[in-house]
C-alpha cells in the first residue's frame, strides 16, 4: 500500500531545500522592519511642515482621473459646508493606517516619495493658530490635488443648509430678514395694544425692531468670536478668522 501524500510536509520540504526556516524568520523580520520604517517616514512627513513644492516625480498614467480635483472645486465645497483645506500637519488626530498604506503603495508604484499633503476637514479637527470627515489630498501642482483617502463619518445631511447663512454677507442678511419675519409673526402684538386690532403699521414697526435686534445679536456674536464668512476662511490657518 502506498502512503498518501502530505501536502504540508511536501511544502515544508520544498521550502527547506530553498532556504532554512531560521533564515526565513530573519528575512520576514527584515521585511517587517522595512515596512515599519517606511510607514514611520510617511507619518513623519504627514505630521511635518508640507513642502512648498508639489509632487513632480509621479507617473500620470498611474493616477485615477476620478480622484483628481482642482482648487476651484475644493474651494466651492469648503465654502458650501464651512470646511478648511490646510496642510496635513494641522490635523489634530492620527492619520489612519489605511491612508498610510495607500500612500506607501503609491510611492512604490511611482518610485518616489511625496511630502506635500492637504487635509479637508471641519475646523474642530484641525490645529488652528490664533489670529466629522477628513479628506487627504496630495498636491500635484497647478492647483490640482489628488484624493488619496477619506475616513470618518459623513457630514450631517443638513450641514450645507445650516452653514448657508455664513457663506457670505448677502446670505446672512437674507437669513436675518426671514428670522425677523418669523419672530414678528409669532409675537402676540395684541398684548401690547390692549387687545385692540393690530394694524399693518404696528406689524411693520415690530418687524423693524426684530430685524435690528437679530442683526445686532448676530453682529455682536460675530465680532466677539472673531468669526468670518466661509469664502474667507476655507484655507485660513487661524481659528478666529
Provide the β-strand partners of residue 118.
87, 137
Hey, is 139 helix, strand or coil? strand
Most confident of 27-36, 163-172, 221-230: 163-172
Q: At what angle do helices 200-225 and 169-186 cross, to 10 degrees?
A: 130
Query: For residues 99 and 183, what is the distance between their CA atoms, to the nearest angstrom?
Result: 48
pTM over 0.75: no
Determine phi and psi for 237, rounding to 5 degrees. -95, 5
- What pLDDT, on a 0 to 100 scale, did the predictor assign at position 177? 92
- What pLDDT, on a 0 to 100 scale, did the predictor assign at position 241? 55
Query: For residues 236 and 233, what is the distance between their CA atoms, to the nearest angstrom?
Result: 5
Query: For residues 102 and 87, what is the distance between their CA atoms, to the nearest angstrom?
Result: 18
Amino acid at each position: 500500500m502506498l502512503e498518501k501524500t502530505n501536502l504540508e510536509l511536501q511544502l515544508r520540504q520544498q521550502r527547506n531545500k530553498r532556504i532554512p526556516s531560521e533564515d526565513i524568520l530573519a528575512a520576514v523580520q527584515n521585511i517587517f522592519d522595512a515596512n515599519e520604517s517606511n510607514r514611520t517616514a510617511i507619518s513623519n512627513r504627514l505630521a511635518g511642515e508640507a513642502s512648498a513644492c508639489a509632487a513632480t516625480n509621479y507617473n500620470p498614467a498611474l493616477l485615477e482621473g476620478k480622484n483628481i480635483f482642482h482648487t476651484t472645486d475644493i474651494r466651492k465645497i469648503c465654502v458650501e459646508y464651512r470646511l478648511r483645506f490646510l496642510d496635513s500637519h494641522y490635523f489634530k488626530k492620527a492619520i489612519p493606517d489605511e491612508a498610510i498604506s495607500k500612500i506607501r503603495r503609491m510611492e512604490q508604484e511611482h518610485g518616489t516619495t511625496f511630502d506635500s499633503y492637504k487635509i479637508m476637514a471641519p475646523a474642530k479637527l484641525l490645529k488652528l493658530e490664533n489670529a466629522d470627515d477628513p479628506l487627504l489630498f496630495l498636491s500635484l501642482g497647478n492647483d490640482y490635488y489628488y484624493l488619496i483617502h477619506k475616513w470618518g463619518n459623513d457630514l450631517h445631511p443638513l450641514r450645507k443648509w445650516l452653514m448657508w447663512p455664513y457663506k457670505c454677507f448677502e446670505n446672512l442678511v437674507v437669513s436675518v430678514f426671514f428670522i425677523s419675519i418669523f419672530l414678528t409673526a409669532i409675537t402676540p402684538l395684541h398684548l401690547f395694544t390692549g387687545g385692540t386690532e393690530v394694524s399693518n403699521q404696528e406689524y411693520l414697526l415690530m418687524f423693524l425692531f426684530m430685524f435690528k435686534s437679530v442683526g445686532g445679536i448676530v453682529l455682536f456674536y460675530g465680532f466677539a468670536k472673531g468669526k468670518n464668512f466661509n469664502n474667507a476662511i476655507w484655507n485660513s490657518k487661524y481659528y478666529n478668522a
